[in-house]
């Protein structure tokens, strides 16, 4: 039997018995076979001594059971690690940050507490997946849309708490932003409700975000200060129509104006859909649907002349390539976005965007789906990425399969620092990371995608871009180790330029938290001060996002 | 490894071919049920326990159609040797189903007991090995 570090087998056995008294024996897992289910399926450290592994797992069903589990953990000083649906693949999955923790698996908490299609919100438990809520809404005929991330089996709660993002209108894409109110089980076993939930009999828990006094919700995201057991989330009213459109521009230099326009129209609210940049000329699939098409069908096939021109480009540019694009009507850059609302409004918004672009970018061309009203048909016909229409699926998981003749993998990691929203920043990030790969042997040794010939960022958050590089996780431990080392180097390089991650797997959390170091790591020290007060025994998800309880802090350094 | 470096250096892998795929005007991808909620209610109500598990947990990757990741991958892997959609396979056993569900393979992660219980896994195995008794419509 495994035990958490520093806990004797006898103590652990007592704790396990008491966990069983709370959740029932069948929901306490200790066998090696069962605990294999609490390994990170995509870990690059699989089979290595530093792979994160659980000593046990418990699966409560109700908030009372969560409280019971937490009290037992406190009594025996058992480190816990909370997962929702446990599908945070690429970011740690169902494994703990601290090996030897007991995973608290909330997948059994599947209650959809309420969905209101007059106030446009849902209140859900952590085990509710996007699929679950979508099916519920569809079955009940409720007139609301979800905003979903690429994979639909994730938890609305877990995704929001890990700063996940989606694909519809800007105000819904930032999932944490779109949340409203939480219920949290604290380390002492007490239940706290935030926002208007702190007011008994309030009917505005899921509609007024701020409550009264300091807004503490953020403390429970990307952290280990409490176990969230309910969360409200704002939903988009079902629009009458939608329209997906694409702006196509011919010159490399047009990128600047295109980005400036994108920011203007999104921040104004004129074009709130996910503003995805692409480059057909460079073969860089900008929008997610084109990327997923590549997963299924393999990369687009270009003729030799085109490929030679791409290979000869520097930072994605060559005059000959640009001319080739003009001659063959292949745009250098594209910007695609989706509009939602009444038919005449979405058509007018698109028309306005075209006018703005035409006035500022010579030779711009446009295409669109026209206003449509049946999102299932649009998804089924492959016209629009279903996620842009709030429809969850698992299409993205074609990545890393053998589909399309691509090379199969065992998982992936994404390096995704935040960069400013400008063409200048896109070029600088490309320049810096491209040069790094050129100069640093460590970075040349590992398979990496989305850097060359040119990397276009992900636009899912407002006002910033995520510059995303991907790494496959393979069956070769030596390559995987090199990938981890390369990732660490990229974190360092990014930090030197003022770019750092929005989210990572526990493997990198200490390092990344370490680069957010202003004033002698004041932010981390603040987190630690909070941790020491509200979780003095350090039982909740030790190490998550670099926050270690006092008794483990020295060792973590 | 070499194949990966090629992909890493040129964002899109080298594959010399004279035709260029158009990026717009996609052909229809084939009809697909969107989710379990799209399976007609009476069909689901009378579905066997194993079929219910399949439609809840497996169909999103292993449904029958070109846009299911698991099916698309298996189609490449098996070619003409075996049908790619799992429901059409004749060779699956409860043991082999359990193996894949609890261990995963490639980018398919394992499924925990809080997702698919052992009893549900057995039902799924019976369903995919075409070895379950017919379930009367009035049963659950």
Size of interface A-B (CB pairs under 8 A): 192
Distance CA A452, CA A449 (A): 7
The percent of residues in chain A predicted with pLDDT above 90, rounded, is 95
Query: What are all long-range contacts of A520-527, with beta carbons under 8 Å and residues at least 24 apart?
Result: A527/A223
Q: For the residues A287-298, what does the mean pLDDT come to? A: 91
Which secondary structure element, helix H or strand E, spans residue A184, and what is its range? strand A179-185
Answer whether A400 sits within 8 Å of B109, measured CB to CB.
Answer: no
Q: Are A415 and A457 contacting, i.e. CB atoms less than 8 angstroms apart?
A: no
SS3 of A434, please? helix
Q: Please tell me the predicted confidence (pLDDT) of residue B139.
A: 42
DSSP, residue by residue, B29-70: ------SGGGS-HHHHHTS-HHHHHIIIIIHHHHSSSTT-HH
CA A118 to each of CA A138, A173, A181, A211, A234: distance values in angstroms, whole numbers, following the listed order: 15, 20, 18, 21, 11
Q: Please tell me the predicted confidence (pLDDT) of residue B66.
A: 86
Instruction: Count Cα atoms within 13 angstroms, Cβ side, for A233.
Output: 30
Answer whether A403 sits within 8 Å of B109, measured CB to CB.
Answer: no
CA distance B8 to chain A (A): 5
CB proximity A105 to B under 8 Å: yes
Distance CA A330, CA A333 (A): 9
Chain B residues with CB-CB distance to A138 below 8 A: 35, 37
- Pick the residue from chain B with its C-alpha nearest to A380: B31
According to DSSP, residue A532 is labeled: H
Token look-up 């380390």 returns A187
CB proximity A311 to B under 8 Å: yes
The string of pLDDT tens digits covering residues A123-174 is: 999 999 999 999 999 989 999 999 999 999 999 999 999 999 999 999 999 9
* Closest by CA position to B129, among listed B48, B73, B65: B48
What residues have CB less than 8 Å from A493, skipping those under 6 apart?
Answer: A432, A433, A436
Q: Where are the beta strands (DSSP E) in A257-313?
A: 276-278
Q: Out of B20, B61, B66, name the one closest to residue A300 (CB).
A: B20
Distance CA A436, CA A419 (A): 17
How many other β-carbons are positioned within 10 Å of the β-carbon of residue A323? 12
- Pick the residue from chain A with its C-alpha nearest to B71: A403
CA B92 to each of CA A153, B26, B109: distance values in angstroms, whole numbers, following the listed order: 25, 35, 19
Instruction: Provide the token pair at A260.
Output: 């400036």
The string of pLDDT tens digits covering residues A83-101 is: 999 999 999 999 999 999 9
The string of pLDDT tens digits covering residues A225-242 is: 999 999 999 999 999 999
Instruction: Provide the token pair at A326.
Output: 């003009």
Touching B: A residues 352-371, CB under 8 Å: 367
Answer whether A283 sits within 8 Å of B77, measured CB to CB.
Answer: no
According to DSSP, residue B134 is labeled: P
Q: Is A442 exposed, middle or buried (0-12, 13-18, 19+ CB in 10 A)?
A: middle
Phi, psi of A206 (to 5 degrees): -100, 15
The DSSP bridge pattern shows strands A56-58 and A102-105 to be parallel
The string of pLDDT tens digits covering residues A313-333 is: 999 999 999 999 999 999 999
Touching B: A residues 391-410, CB under 8 Å: 391-405, 407-410
Distance CA B50, CA B52 (A): 5
Verify cis geometry, omega within 30 degrees of 0, for the bond prior to A453. yes
Q: Out of B5, B29, B102, name the one closest to residue A37 (CB).
A: B102
CA distance A449 to chain B (A): 5
* Closest by CA position to B111, among listed B62, B71, B41, B40: B62
Chain B residues with CB-CB distance to A33 below 8 A: 102
- Pick the residue from chain B with its C-alpha nearest to A309: B10
Chain B residues with CB-CB distance to A36 below 8 A: 102-103, 110
Q: Please tell me the predicted confidence (pLDDT) of residue B2.
A: 35
The gap from C-alpha A317 to its chain's centroid, in whole angstroms, comes to 31
Q: Please tell me the predicted confidence (pLDDT) of residue A510.
A: 98
The residue among A315, A393, A467 with the most chain B CBs within 10 A of its CB, best to mutate, is A393
The residue among A25, A35, A37 with the most chain B CBs within 10 A of its CB, best to mutate, is A37
Q: Are A39 and A53 contacting, i.e. CB atoms less than 8 angstroms apart?
A: yes
Distance CA A319, CA A309 (A): 9
The residue among B5, B17, B60, B112 with the most chain A CBs within 10 A of its CB, best to mutate, is B112
Instruction: Provide the token pair at A460.
Output: 């899912």
Answer whether B24 sits within 8 Å of A401, measured CB to CB.
Answer: no
Q: Are A502 and A484 contacting, i.e. CB atoms less than 8 angstroms apart?
A: no
Between B139 and B104, whose confidence is greater?
B104
Beta bridge partners, A465, equal: A419
Pick the catalytic residue from A42, A502, A544, A545.
Answer: A502
Answer whether A407 sits within 8 Å of B7, measured CB to CB.
Answer: yes
Q: Out of B14, B28, B114, name the one closest to residue A59 (CB).
A: B114
Distance CA A372, CA A511 (A): 47
The string of pLDDT tens digits covering residues A373-424 is: 999 999 989 999 999 999 999 999 999 999 988 889 999 999 999 999 999 9
Q: Considering chain A, what is the average pLDDT of its residues?
A: 96
A340 is catalytic: no
Chain A residues with CB-CB distance to B111 below 8 A: 37
CA B53 to each of CA A405, A519, B38: distance values in angstroms, whole numbers, following the listed order: 30, 53, 15
A46 is catalytic: no
Q: Please tell me the predicted confidence (pLDDT) of residue B40.
A: 66
- Pick the residue from chain B with its C-alpha nearest to A401: B73
The residue among A401, A413, A452 with the most chain B CBs within 10 A of its CB, best to mutate, is A401
* Closest by CA position to A393, among listed A167, A124, A106, A86: A167
Answer whether B115 sits within 8 Å of A107, measured CB to CB.
Answer: yes
SS3 of A101, please? coil
CA B15 to each of CA A406, A434, A454, B12, B63: distance values in angstroms, whole numbers, following the listed order: 12, 23, 18, 9, 29
SS3 of A277, please? strand
The string of pLDDT tens digits covering residues B20-56 is: 322 222 323 333 434 444 566 677 788 999 999 999 9
CA distance A294 to chain B (A): 9
Name the pLDDT band for B12 (thresholds 50, 70, 90): very low
Touching B: A residues 123-182, CB under 8 Å: 127, 131, 134-135, 138-139, 152-153
- pLDDT for residue A269 is more than 80: yes
* Closest by CA position to B115, among listed A64, A89, A109, A161: A109
Instruction: Count Cα atoms within 13 angstroms, Cβ side, for A201.
Output: 0
What residues have CB less than 8 Å from A331, skipping those under 6 apart?
Answer: A248, A249, A250, A279, A280, A281, A325, A365
Chain A residues with CB-CB distance to B98 below 8 A: none
Distance CA A341, CA A186 (A): 41
CA distance B131 to chain A (A): 26
- pLDDT for residue B100 is more than 90: yes
Answer whether A393 sits within 8 Å of B60, measured CB to CB.
Answer: yes
Answer whether B34 sits within 8 Å of A452, measured CB to CB.
Answer: no
Chain B residues with CB-CB distance to A294 below 8 A: 12
CB proximity A455 to B under 8 Å: yes
Distance CA B15, CA A35 (A): 43
A503 is catalytic: yes
Pick the catalytic residue from A76, A81, A91, A465.
Answer: A91
The residue among B57, B73, B103 with the most chain A CBs within 10 A of its CB, best to mutate, is B73
């Amino acid at each position: 039997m495994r035990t958490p570090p520093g806990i004797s087998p006898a103590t652990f056995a007592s704790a396990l018995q008491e966990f069983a008294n709370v959740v029932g024996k069948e929901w306490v897992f200790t066998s090696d076979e069962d605990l294999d289910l609490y390994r990170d399926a995509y870990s690059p450290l699989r089979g290595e001594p530093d792979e994160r592994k659980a000593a046990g797992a418990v699966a409560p069903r109700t908030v009372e059971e969560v409280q019971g589990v937490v009290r037992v953990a406190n009594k025996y000083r058992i480190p816990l690690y909370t997962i929702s649906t446990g599908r945070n693949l690429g970011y740690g999955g169902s494994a703990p940050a601290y090996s030897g923790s007991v995973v608290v698996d909330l997948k059994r908490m599947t209650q959809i507490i309420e969905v209101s299609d007059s106030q446009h919100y849902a209140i859900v438990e952590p085990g509710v997946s996007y699929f679950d809520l979508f099916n519920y809404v569809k079955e009940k005929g409720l007139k609301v849309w979800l905003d979903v991330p690429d994979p639909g089996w994730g938890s609305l709660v877990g995704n929001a708490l890990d700063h996940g993002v989606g694909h519809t209108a800007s105000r819904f894409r930032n999932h944490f932003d779109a949340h409203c109110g939480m219920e949290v089980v604290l380390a002492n076993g007490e239940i706290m409700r935030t926002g208007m939930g702190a007011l008994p009999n309030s009917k505005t828990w899921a509609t007024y975000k701020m409550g009264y006094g300091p807004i503490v919700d953020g403390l429970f995201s990307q952290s280990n200060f409490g176990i969230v057991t309910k969360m409200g989330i704002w939903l988009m009213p079902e629009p009458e129509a939608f329209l997906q459109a694409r702006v196509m521009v011919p010159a490399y230099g047009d990128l600047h104006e295109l980005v400036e326009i994108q920011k203007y129209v999104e921040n104004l609210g004129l074009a709130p859909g996910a503003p995805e940049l692409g480059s057909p000329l460079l073969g860089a699939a900008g929008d997610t649907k084109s990327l997923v098409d590549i997963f299924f069908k393999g990369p687009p096939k270009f003729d030799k002349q085109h490929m030679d021109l791409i290979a000869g480009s520097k930072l994605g540019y060559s005059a000959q390539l640009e001319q080739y694009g003009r001659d063959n009507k292949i745009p250098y850059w594209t910007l695609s976005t989706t509009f939602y609302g009444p038919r005449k409004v979405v058509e007018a918004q698109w028309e306005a965007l075209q006018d703005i672009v035409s006035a500022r970018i010579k030779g711009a061309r446009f295409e669109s789906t026209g206003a449509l009203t049946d999102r299932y048909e649009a998804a089924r016909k492959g016209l629009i990425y279903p996620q842009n229409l709030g429809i969850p699926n698992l299409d993205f998981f074609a990545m890393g399969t053998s589909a399309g003749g691509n090379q199969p993998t065992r998982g992936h990691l994404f390096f995704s620092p935040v960069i400013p929203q400008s063409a200048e920043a896109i070029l600088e990030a490309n320049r810096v990371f491209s040069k790094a790969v050129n100069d640093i042997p460590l970075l040349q040794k590992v398979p990496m995608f989305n850097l060359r010939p040119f990397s276009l960022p992900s636009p899912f958050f407002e006002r910033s871009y995520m510059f995303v590089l991907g790494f496959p996780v393979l069956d070769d431990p030596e390559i995987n180790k090199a990938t981890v080392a390369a990732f660490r180097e990229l974190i360092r390089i990014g930090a030197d330029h003022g770019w750092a991650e929005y989210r990572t797997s526990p493997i990198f959390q200490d390092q990344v938290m370490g680069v957010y170091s202003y004033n002698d790591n004041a932010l981390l020290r603040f987190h630690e001060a909070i941790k020491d007060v509200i979780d003095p025994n350090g039982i909740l998800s030790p190490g998550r996002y670099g926050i270690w309880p006092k008794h483990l802090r020295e060792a973590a350094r | 490894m070499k194949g990966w470096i090629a992909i890493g250096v040129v964002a899109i892998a080298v594959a010399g071919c004279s035709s260029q795929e158009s990026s717009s005007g996609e052909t229809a991808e084939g009809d697909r049920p969107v989710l379990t909620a799209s399976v007609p209610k009476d069909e689901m109500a009378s579905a066997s326990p194993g079929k219910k598990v399949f439609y809840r947990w497996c169909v999103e990757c292993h449904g029958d159609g070109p846009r299911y990741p698991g099916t698309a991958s298996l189609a490449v892997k098996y070619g003409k040797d075996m049908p790619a959609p799992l429901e059409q396979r004749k060779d699956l056993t409860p043991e082999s189903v359990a193996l894949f569900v609890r261990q995963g393979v490639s980018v398919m992660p394992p499924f925990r007991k809080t997702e698919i219980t052992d009893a549900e896994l057995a039902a799924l195995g019976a369903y995919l090995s075409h070895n379950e008794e017919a379930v009367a419509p009035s049963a659950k």
